[in-house]
Amino acid sequence: MRLTRYFLPVLKETPSEAQIVSHRLMLRAGMIRQQAAGIYSWLPLGFKVLRKIEDIVHEEQARAGHIPIQMPILQPADLWRESGRYDDYGREMLRMQDRHERDLLYTPTAEEMVTDIFRAHVSSYKDLPLTLYQIQWKFRDEVRPRFGVMRGREFYMKDGYTFDLTEADAKHAYNRHLVSYLRTYERMGLQAIPMKAEGGPIGGDYTHEFLVLAETGESEVFYDAEITDLRFGNREIDYDDAGACQAVLDEFTARYARTDDTHDEVLFHERVPEDRRRVARGIEVGQIFYFGTKYSEPMGATVQGHDGKPVPVHMGSHGIGVSRLLGAIIEASHDDNGIIWPEAVTPFHVGIVNLKQGDAEADAACTALHDQIAALGLEPLYDDRDERAGGKFATMDLIGLPWRITVGPRGLKNGVVELTSRRTGESEELPPEQAVDRIAQIYAGH
Ligand code: 5CA
């Protein structure tokens, strides 16, 4: 992609309404535009990263054997009256009527609708276990939408729902989600720590939130410092093996780690030696719930059990804050000059900076690099604007591409270009073909 043909409305000024760095950088880098409180348009650069995060979520869901569906954003209120949540949900739910004066709502979550799909089509224990999930827009009329995409009113969420015959099977589904979430976040370069949490309006007291530690996080968290040494890494796991999934849950939840909702100061002191006690802040990037028959009973979602009698299914729901993850990744990975994208989610793989636009040799070298990198199946962003080098570097640093190739007439005379790492700032001079090879190697594992 040539920058002169792209749409990258970067801002020179730091927007005054943005209180935290990720919000500031997303606005400055031209990734989003606020259209109303907590409601955003996703501009090309932001939309690209959103899609990459979404792709990783889909891939890890597929690996765990979960099945994608898509449910509507507008739902009939009657479904929610069946579970009793239509009245319970309060003012966070956006309610409306159609031309026939039928009550509708903009979905804040989808337990009722997925339960309705289940009861209409599944009747035997032989069809279990089943996990259906979607990635879909949600609306919650938050009292204080803030921090950009971190706490929006409209936001993009992966919501998955598990159906099982027994509590033991449902716990396996829960554990399977915990494992797949650990993998998902690590692939995005994040460490998200599972912490004991509260069910809130979704229900159940068997629930964990996943928190990314960050000073700007909205949740206060209390944990044993040892927990930050844990990594899932690239171990192989058989998601059908209940024992193996349970072992991962045990490993990652053995140490004290709680949000302020469930924190117990006495227990904290009992279980964690003083030098390992940490009180910090975190961003909640996901939550998993097991809530038994809370929805299946009132909504009549039953299956014929082994003895032929109908039993309500055991359910859980499992969410990832897909749009919030952009903010979380930026909070975890930036410097004074801008964003530093992890390779796995970067909007473009390499930036190409032409130091002397209009110089025949420099232009030709940049075009050749662009085409060779594109031929690898990667996406370069070629800054072909007629601008000073300083301005081009500042834009590249701001939008955070992890690698930059700088091309200028002086280097070309010696047969070299410069390859620079956004993260370390280190540069290396090498012939253009070798720069392309290096880029190929860097992205071979992604
Ligand atoms: N139905 C369940 C799981 S599928 C559910 O709705 N869970 S949730 O309420 O915990 O939301 C899941 C995730 O969505 C949260 O962990 C958080 O990362 C994200 N999220 C929740 N509210 C917002 C919001 N206002 N803005 C951005 N992301 C949000």
Span from the CA of 286 to the centroid of ligand 1 (angstroms)? 7
191 lines ligand 1 (CB under 6 A): no
- Ligand 1 centroid–CA 410 distance in Å is 52
pLDDT digits (tens, 9 = 90+) for 228-268: 999 999 999 999 999 999 999 999 999 999 999 999 999 99
Neighbours of 392 (CB within 10 A): 22
Residue 108 pLDDT: 98
Q: Which of 157, 207, 210, 285 to mutate for ligand 1's pocket (most ligand atoms within 8 Å of CB)?
A: 157
pLDDT at residue 175 greater than cutoff 80 = yes
Tokens of 344: 């796995």
**Does the pLDDT of residue 437 top 90, yes or no?**
yes
Q: How confident is the model at residue 16 (pLDDT cuts 50, 70, 90)?
A: confident
pLDDT (0 to 100) of residue 100: 98
The amino acid present at 55, given as its one-letter code, is D
pTM over 0.85: yes
H-helix or E-strand spanning residue 39: strand 39-42
Query: What's the confidence (pLDDT) of residue 203?
Result: 76
For ligand 1, atom 21: residue with the closest CA: 321
DSSP, collapsed to helix, strand or coil, labels residue 365 as: helix
Question: In which residue are the tokens 């279990």 written?
Answer: 128
Q: What is the pLDDT confidence band of residue 446, given thresholds at 50, 70 and 90? A: confident
Cβ of residue 284 lying under 6 Å from some atom of ligand 1: yes
Tell me, what's the pLDDT at 201?
Answer: 81
Spatial separation of the C-alpha atoms in residues 102 and 215, rounded to whole Å: 45
- The tokens for 218 are 């909205």
The pLDDT, as a whole number, for residue 398 is: 98
Architecture of domain 3-338: 2-Layer Sandwich (3.30)
- Residue 294: CB within 6 Å of ligand 1? no
CB 130 within 8 A of CB 65: no
DSSP element (H, E) containing 68: strand 67-68
Question: What's the confidence (pLDDT) of residue 199?
Answer: 83
| Domain spans, the chain | 3-338, 348-443
The burial class, CB within 10 Å (0-12 / 13-18 / 19+), for 71 is middle
- CA of 50 from ligand 1 middle (Å) equals 16
57 lines ligand 1 (CB under 6 A): no
Task: With H, G, I as helix, E, B as strand and everything else as coil, classify residue 30.
Answer: coil
Q: Stretch 271-290: mean pLDDT, rounded? A: 97
Q: Is the pLDDT of residue 355 over 90?
A: yes
Average pLDDT on 336-361 reads: 98
Read off the pLDDT of residues 186-228 as tens digits, 9 standing for 90 and up.
Answer: 999 999 999 999 888 877 779 999 999 999 999 999 999 999 9
List, for residues 364-390, the tens digit of each pLDDT value: 999 999 999 999 999 999 999 999 999
Residues 420, 427: Cα–Cα separation, whole Å = 4
Tokens of 109: 């979550």
* Three-state SS annotation for 114-182: HHHHHHHHCCEHHHCCEEEEEEEEEECCCCCCECHHHECCEEEEEEEEEEECCHHHHHHHHHHHHHHHH
Give me 127's structure tokens.
């069809």
Question: What is the CB-side half-sphere exposure of residue 15 using CA atoms within 13 A?
Answer: 21
Query: Does position 280 have pLDDT exceeding 90, yes or no?
Result: yes
Bridge partner residues of 164 (DSSP): 314
CB 84 within 8 A of CB 112: no
Please give the DSSP secondary-structure letter assigned to residue 215.
T
- Burial of residue 47 (CB within 10 Å: 0-12, 13-18, 19+) is middle
Superfamily grouping for domain 348-443 = Anticodon-binding domain (3.40.50.800)
Cβ–ligand 1 contact at 380 (below 6 Å)? no
- Our answer on whether the CB atom of 109 is closer than 6 Å to any ligand 1 atom is yes
**SS3 for 298?**
helix
Measured from the CB, is residue 56 less than 6 Å from ligand 1? no
pLDDT score, position 48: 98
Q: Are the folds of 3-338 and 348-443 the same?
A: no
Q: Measured between alpha carbons, how far is residue 253 from residues 257, 314, 324, 371 in Å?
A: 7, 23, 24, 48
Angstrom distance (rounded) from CA 247 to CA 253? 10
| Predicted confidence (pLDDT) per residue in 96-149, tens digit | 999 999 999 999 999 999 999 999 999 999 999 999 999 999 999 999 999 999
Is residue 307 classed as helix, strand or coil in its secondary structure? Answer: coil
116 lines ligand 1 (CB under 6 A): no
